[in-house]
Structure 1
């Protein structure tokens, strides 16, 4: 395998990883900032108030975007990885 093909495949694989993780990371960021702002405004310093809503929001987004994640991974695998394994 040539170096160019290897690095191009790695670049595409990293891009797929960024794309499928972005929805959950964005929701975690928004939930964390909004809960932190709520805690700062109300002086409520409860650890479960930070953890439980963030995990719940991430689970909902994971459930909603699972088809997108699976589709992206299958497309990458069938378009890039299988042809490299076969050797074409």
Structure 2
């Protein structure tokens, strides 16, 4: 295994992490901005008002996007195992 092979695997791992975490992070950001906007309009500064909706939205998003995330991780795992099998 040379440096190019190692960099290729690391690049694939980073893309897999970004694709797998993307849906949850995007939903958390959108819900957070929306709640912050509502708090700014109403001047209600309750900490649980931001925490609970984000957690619920993230849990729903993870449940919906689980097949996509699993497929991405499975694809990456298969690529790494194939490269190990062929000896890089």
Alignment TM-score, normalising by the size of structure 2? 0.94
Per-residue deviation, 1:51: 0.1
Identify unmatched segments of 5+ residues in structure 1. Answer: none
Match of 2:63 in 1: 63
Local SS of the residue matching 1:45: coil
State how many pairs are aligned: 87
Match of 2:36 in 1: 36
Match of 1:82 in 2: 81
Distance 1:34 1:10 in 2: 35
Distance 2:50 2:76 in 1: 35
Superposition RMSD in Å: 1.0
Match of 2:2 in 1: 2
